[in-house]
Structure 1
Amino acid sequence: MQLTKHAHACVTVQKDGTRLVIDPGTFTPDAAEAVAQAQAVLITHEHFDHFDEKVVAAALEAQPALQVYGTAAVSAALGRHNGRVHTVAAGDAFTVGSITATVHGHRHALIHTDIPCPDNVGYLLDDGALYHPGDAYFVPDAPVRTLLLPTSGPWTKLGEAADYVRTVKPEQIIQIHELMLSDLGQRSTATLLGEQGLTGLPIDRVEPGTTVEL
């Protein structure tokens, strides 16, 4: 399996000719290009930095075989498109081409009690090969080999992130949701949470546009 990192929370996953895009949002400049090459789009929740509604809606019109998976709010925003938009929730499982996915978690992490928490789901691919949690530190009830770890945003906390990694116990960490951190902030976060810090695991900072083998 290969992973291509895009800006912020968006990644492309490719395996044996199947290509999925997770969370193409408005903070991802090449979101439309990534979606145009995919068989399916997986959305963790409806916030604009994870779900560029215009990009995904246009792709559904232009790509007759494209499948989209997301929460009820995502489905409501897009419409059914002849059954190609699928509402998913914790406990669901589906397959796209050569890639299997299970759905985990329920709610977005708390920002403040005055701000509503939307539904948020995480996607665990290929029996634990990769887990994208969206905007939550939800621990799936299955082993995780590669964890995509959010490191910036109004809801993130470094102490909670450290405890999250310790609980999930992945083999590998790749940073996502990093756009609100400067280069210094990203280096400081990697030091605090990384191999010599609180988790004992290195945090891979994959530059947007880079593809890595998982």
Structure 2
Amino acid sequence: MLITKYGHACVRLEEGDRVLVIDPGTLTGAEALEGATAVLVTHEHDDHIDVDMLKAARAANPALTVHTHLALAEALGEGVTGVAVGETFAAAGFTVSAVGGKHAEIVDGLPGCPNIGFVVDGVYHPGDSLFVPSETVETLLVPASGPWLKTGEAVEFVRAVRPARAFPVHDAHHSEVGRRNFDGWLAGAGGTDYARIPLGGSVEL
């Protein structure tokens, strides 16, 4: 499986002619969706879904499937499939488990919206959550920044999930200094094989 890192929270998984994109938001270029056969969206915040970009991609390719949590699927309308926590389904030929269910708290119970993490053939994208799934995780896409996260929590999250490897996502808020600091902590204290995929770069799993 080839994994490619796009802007902020977006990654693209490819195996043969199967192409699955997770969380193509407004900080991601439209090239992430080129040739995609399925899209997974963890929640409705615009750094995870660019509604206009997704509509354009679906207009260009009516066969493109979209899966997200039930409330967002209803809001997006026809052709979007709602999935519930605990459900396992197929997307672009990959096996996907929906886990978690709630966005991490920032303050005062906010934002209080649904958030579904996805485990895709051993690759876990948690969205804006630090939910630890029961499913086996070989590759963890660990959130690196955001108003709901501190570095120590990211370290503890990696330790709890215990993946074979971890790559950072959700990192557009970081400066270069912030990225180096985060990478140093995760590489030194996370207890797994940790590396950063450059923006637009790919890794073969």
**CA drift at 1:142:** 1.3
For 1:73, which of 71, 74, 81 is the aligned residue?
A: 71
Give the alignment of 1:164-175 within 5 angstroms: 164-175=157-168
TM (norm. structure 2) is 0.95
Shift of 1:95: 1.0
- Determine the C-alpha separation between the residues in 1 that align with 2:191 and 2:41: 30
Alpha-carbon distance, 1:78 to partner: 1.7
Q: Which runs of 5 or more residues in structure 2 are unaligned?
A: none
User: For the structure 1 residues 97 and 27, does the alpha-carbon distance in structure 2 shift closer, same or farther, using more than 3 Å as the test?
Assistant: closer
Structure 1: stretches of 5+ with no match in the other structure: none
CA distance in 2 between counterparts of 1:55 and 1:73 reads: 20
Report the equivalent of 1:139: 132
1:145-184 equivalent positions in 2, closer than 5 A: 145-184=138-177
In structure 2, the residue matched to 1:9 is: 9
Instruction: Return the alpha-carbon distance in structure 2 between the equivalents of residues 189 and 141 of structure 1.
Output: 26
Correspondence 1:109-124 to 2 at 5 A: 109-113=104-108, 115-124=110-119
Decide whether the 8 Å contact of 1:16 with 1:98 is kept in 2: no
- Residue of structure 2 in register with 1:34 after alignment: 32
Name 2:197's counterpart in structure 1: 206
Deviating 4+ runs (over 2 angstroms): 200-203
TM-score between both structures, scaled by the size of structure 1: 0.91
Tell me which moved more, 38-47 or 116-125: 116-125
User: Deviations 1:121-177 (Å, cap 9, x if unpaired)?
Assistant: 111011x2x100000000111111100000101111112111111110001010101
Report the aligned-residue RMSD: 1.3
Letter in 2 for 1:107: K
Q: Distance in 2 between matches of 1:22 and 1:184?
A: 27
**Distance in 1 between residues matched to 2:110 and 2:59, nearest whole Å:** 33
SS in 2 for 1:105: strand
Q: Is the 8 A contact 1:25 1:52 kept in 2?
A: yes
Q: Distance in 1 between matches of 2:86 and 2:191?
A: 30
Q: Does 1:19 align with 2:19?
A: yes
Displacement of 1:115 after TM fit? 2.4
Matched residues, percent identical? 44
Q: When the two structures are aligned, how many residues end up with a matched partner? A: 205
For 1:40 and 1:98, locate their aligned partners in 2 and report how far apart those are by CA, in whole Å.
9
* Other-structure match for 2:50: 52
Q: Given the superposition, is the C-alpha separation of residues 96 and 191 from structure 1 closer, same or farther in structure 2, using an over 3 Å criterion?
A: same
